[in-house]
Amino acid sequence: MVKIVKKKGISEPFKPNKILKSLQKATIDAGYNLEEKKEIINTVCSKISSKLDEKKEMDTATIRGCLLTELDKCEPYIAKSWRRFDKKYKSR
């Protein structure tokens, strides 16, 4: 099982649903409906999950970087929405 190392150093088991929910929120915030971008969301989730399968442990910053790289390739507006959320709520 892959362990995720949080910002404060705490580890927890990988929960793919967290990435899915975050992508869904960013998609809606970017002005799309979920059905319209379902394929992109699933593709990005699959790529992140497969990268995590290769590791025993990964920190959230690395996951975020991988996720944004994939989004930049296939749907930059969702990536922009994700970054806007991070800037507003997570950089405090």
HSE-CB for 88 with a 13 A CA cutoff: 7
What's the confidence (pLDDT) of residue 91? Answer: 59
Q: What is the mean pLDDT of each run of 10 residues along the chain (92 residues)?
A: 89 91 93 93 90 88 93 94 84 55
* Distance (Å) of CA 29 to CA 8, 25, 41: 27, 6, 14
Indicate the domain borders of the chain. Answer: 3-90
What's the confidence (pLDDT) of residue 89? Answer: 73
Predicted TM-score of the model (pTM) = 0.83
What's the confidence (pLDDT) of residue 76? Answer: 95
What's the confidence (pLDDT) of residue 88? Answer: 79
What's the confidence (pLDDT) of residue 65? Answer: 93
CA dist 87 and 92 (Å) reads: 8
* Distance (Å) of CA 63 to CA 31, 36, 69: 24, 24, 10
